[in-house]
C-alpha cells in the first residue's frame, strides 16, 4: 500500500517535520502512522502489529498501555494539574519523588533538579559544572570532555557533547570548549592484538593526555553513558571505567554520568553506574523515569556540588536556573508510580532472568556472513553488519545496508533502529522470553533477506 495515498500520511507530510529523518525521502515514501500500543507491541493504522524492539526511543520500559501509569496521571491531573518550584514553592508529589530518587541513587547524592528531557538534564549538568568551578574560584576550569560516538542530547550544548558528526553538520557545532576523546569500541577501534584491557588503558592514557594538553585547570567535567546508546550500543571494554575514573580524580574533573538510557534496569541493575562501578558527581535520568508516558528528566547532584550551588546563590542573591515544567506534578506522580512498579514487579530481576535469552540469541548471529560483531548486556544489544568479516571492512553509507535491514525487519513485524550498519535492540523491560524469540526470529528473516540483497547488488 502506498502510504502517501492515505489521508493521515499526506496530512502528516503537509504539517509535520520528522526528527532524524531524510526530509527528502520521507516526502516520497510517507510516514508509518502508529495508532495504538499494548505491552511490547504497537499497531499501525491498518492494524498491523509490530514488536517495538527499541521501546520507542529506548524509553517505554514498562510497555504500552500500563493502566497504573494512566491512572496516576489522571488522578494527579484532577488533584493538581500544574505547579512549579520557583521562589521556594513545591508540590507534595515532587517531594515524594525527590526522596525516592535520592534514596535509590547508586552512590550518595544530595539533591534533585528537574527538567523535561535528557537533553535538558545534561545541559543543566554542564551549567552546574561551570557554576561549581566559579564557586570554587576556578573561573578557567570550564572545558567539557565527551567521547566520539557518545550521545547526550540535542540542545546547542548537548548536541555539541554528542560525538556524532551528523548532529553537528551545518548547525555550527560543536561549541568551543567541548572536546572529544576516544570511543571505547574495542571491536572497531582496538589495534591488532590489543586486548580489551590494553585498549582500555590506551583510552585512559589518551584522556589523560588530552586533559594535560588542554591544561587541567581548564577542564571542568567529563560526561559518559555507561553503555553508549545512539552511538551504536557500545559496551565499555574491561577495566575502562576503572582506569578513566582514576584520571578524572587525579585532575579534579567532575564525572557526569548520563543514565538516560541505562537507568532503571536496562543493564540488569537499577543503574548502569552499579553495573560498571561508577562514582559520579552528577547523574542524569529521563526516559524510563516515567516509562516515557509523560516527559520528565532529573539531575541528581552530589553534596559537594550542591554546597557550591548554595554558596553561589548566596553570593548572587538567587539560584538563577529553573524551568516552567521542571518537576511538573503530573509527571512526578507518573514517575512515582513507575518506580513502585519497578520495585513491586522486580523488573531488575526480570531483566536478569530474560536478558541472557536476548544476549545468547544475538550471539547466534555471529556465524552469519554479514555479522561482524554482537555486543550487549541485560536488555540492550546490537548486531553490527560488515562487508568483510575477516578485515571488518564496513559497507559504504551510500549502500544503505542498515536502512534496508531496518525496512525488512519492519516488514516482518519488528520495529527497531539501524545506527549506521548496527541494528539496535532495547525492547520494553517487561518483554517475555517468547517475545524475545519472536523478535529475534523476525530479525533473522530480515537479515537473510538483506544478505540476498547484498549479493544481488554485488556489494559483497
Q: For the segment 287-297, what is each residue's pLDDT rounded down to a tens digit?
A: 999 999 999 99
Q: What is the pLDDT of residue 392?
A: 96
Confidence check: pLDDT of 25 > 60 = yes
Per-residue pLDDT tens over the stretch 231-270: 999 999 999 999 999 999 999 999 999 999 999 999 999 9
The three cell numbers of residue 330 are 503530573
pLDDT average, residue stretch 30-55:
97
Whether the pLDDT of residue 135 is over 80: the answer is yes
Whether residue 12 contacts residue 31, with contact meaning beta carbons closer than 8 Å, is answered with yes
Question: In 118-163, which residue ranges form alpha helices assigned H by DSSP?
Answer: 118-135, 156-161
- 97 vs 1, residue with greater confidence: 97
The whole-number average pLDDT for the span 267-289 is 98
Exposure of 313 by Cβ count < 10 A (0-12 exposed, 13-18 middle, 19+ buried)? middle
Q: Which residues of 4-19 are buried (b: 16+ CB within 10 A; e: fewer)?
A: eebeebeebbeeeeee
Q: What is the pLDDT of residue 165?
A: 87
Q: What is the assigned CATH class of domain 32-65+346-456?
A: alpha beta
Instruction: Tell me yes or no: is domain 68-344 CATH 3.10.450.710.
Output: no
Q: How far is CA 230 from the centre of its chain?
A: 6
What's the grid cell of residue 331?
509527571
C-alpha 280/C-alpha 302 separation (Å) is 8
Classify 193 as helix, strand or coil. coil
Interval 333-354 mean pLDDT: 98
Task: State pLDDT tens for residues 411-433.
Answer: 999 999 999 999 999 999 999 99
In angstroms, rounded to a whole number, what is the distance separating the alpha carbons of residues 140 and 121?
23
**Which sequence spans correspond to the domains of the chain?**
32-65+346-456, 68-344
Least confident of 42-46, 48-52, 166-170: 166-170
For 102, counting Cβ atoms within 10 Å of its Cβ (0-12 exposed, 13-18 middle, 19+ buried), the class is middle
Vertex 445 angle, CA 440 and 448, to 5°: 120
**In the structure, what pLDDT confidence band is assigned to residue 1 with cuts at 50, 70 and 90?**
very low
Q: What angle do CA 398, 400, 404 make, to 5 degrees?
A: 165
pLDDT of residue 20: 86
In this predicted model, what pLDDT tens digit does every residue of 60-85 receive, in sequence order? 999 999 999 999 999 999 999 999 99
What is the model's pLDDT at position 460?
A: 79
Sign of the torsion formed by the C-alpha atoms of 64, 70, 72 and 77 = positive
Q: What is the pLDDT of residue 7?
A: 84
Angle at 328 between CA 40 and CA 227, to 5 degrees: 45
Whole-number percent of the chain with pLDDT over 70: 99
- Looking at every residue in the chain, the average pLDDT score rounds to 96
Contact 298, 258 (CB under 8 A): no
Amino acid at each position: 500500500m502506498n502510504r502517501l495515498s492515505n489521508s493521515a500520511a499526506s496530512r502528516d507530510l503537509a504539517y509535520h517535520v520528522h526528527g532524524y529523518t531524510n526530509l527528502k525521502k520521507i516526502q516520497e515514501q510517507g510516514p508509518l502512522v502508529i495508532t495504538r500500543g499494548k505491552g511490547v507491541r504497537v499497531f499501525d493504522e491498518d492494524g498491523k502489529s509490530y514488536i517495538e524492539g527499541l521501546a520507542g526511543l529506548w524509553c517505554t520500559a514498562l510497555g504500552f498501555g500500563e493502566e497504573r501509569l494512566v491512572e496516576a496521571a489522571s488522578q494527579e491531573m484532577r488533584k493538581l494539574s500544574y505547579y512549579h518550584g520557583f521562589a521556594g514553592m513545591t508540590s507534595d508529589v515532587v517531594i515524594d519523588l525527590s526522596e525516592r530518587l535520592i534514596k535509590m541513587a547508586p552512590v550518595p547524592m544530595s539533591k534533585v533538579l528537574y527538567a523535561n528531557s535528557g537533553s535538558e538534564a545534561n545541559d543543566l549538568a554542564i551549567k552546574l559544572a561551570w557554576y561549581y568551578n566559579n564557586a570554587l574560584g576556578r573561573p578557567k576550569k570550564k572545558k567539557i570532555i565527551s567521547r566520539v560516538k557518545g550521545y547526550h542530547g540535542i540542545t546547542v550544548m548537548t548536541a555539541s557533547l554528542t560525538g556524532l558528526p551528523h548532529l553537528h553538520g551545518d548547525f555550527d557545532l560543536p561549541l568551543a570548549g567541548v572536546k572529544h576523546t576516544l570511543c571505547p569500541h574495542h571491536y572497531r577501534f582496538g589495534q591488532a592484538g590489543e586486548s580489551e584491557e590494553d585498549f582500555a588503558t590506551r583510552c585512559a592514557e589518551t584522556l589523560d593526555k588530552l586533559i594535560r594538553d588542554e591544561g587541567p585547570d581548564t577542564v571542568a567535567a567529563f560526561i559518559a553513558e555507561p553503555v553508549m546508546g545512539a552511538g551504536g550500543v557500545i559496551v565499555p571494554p574491561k577495566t575502562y571505567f576503572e582506569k578513566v575514573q582514576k584520571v578524572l580524580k587525579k585532575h579534579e574533573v567532575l564525572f557526569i554520568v548520563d543514565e538516560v538510557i541505562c537507568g532503571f534496569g536496562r543493564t540488569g541493575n537499577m543503574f548502569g553506574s552499579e553495573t560498571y562501578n561508577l562514582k559520579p558527581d552528577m547523574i542524569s535520568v529521563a526516559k524510563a523515569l516515567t516509562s516515557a508516558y509523560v516527559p520528565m528528566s532529573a539531575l541528581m547532584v552530589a553534596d559537594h556540588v550542591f554546597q557550591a550551588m548554595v554558596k553561589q546563590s548566596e553570593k548572587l542573591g538567587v539560584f538563577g536556573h529553573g524551568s516552567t515544567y521542571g518537576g511538573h506534578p503530573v509527571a512526578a506522580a507518573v514517575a512515582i508510580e513507575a518506580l513502585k512498579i519497578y520495585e513491586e514487579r522486580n523488573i531488575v530481576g526480570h531483566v536478569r532472568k530474560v536478558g541472557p535469552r536476548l544476549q545468547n540469541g544475538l550471539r547466534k548471529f555471529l556465524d552469519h556472513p554479514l555479522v561482524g560483531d554482537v555486543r550487549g548486556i541485560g536488555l540492550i544489544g546490537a548486531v553490527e553488519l560488515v562487508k568483510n568479516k575477516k578485515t571488518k571492512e564496513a559497507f559504504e553509507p551510500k549502500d544503505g545496508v542498515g536502512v534496508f535491514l531496518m525496512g525488512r525487519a519492519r516488514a516482518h513485524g519488528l520495529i527497531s533502529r539501524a545506527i549506521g550498519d548496527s541494528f539496535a535492540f532495547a525492547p520494553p523491560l517487561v518483554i517475555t522470553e517468547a517475545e524475545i524469540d519472536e523478535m529475534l526470529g523476525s530479525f533473522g528473516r530480515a537479515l537473510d533477506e538483506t544478505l540476498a540483497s547484498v549479493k544481488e547488488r554485488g556489494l559483497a
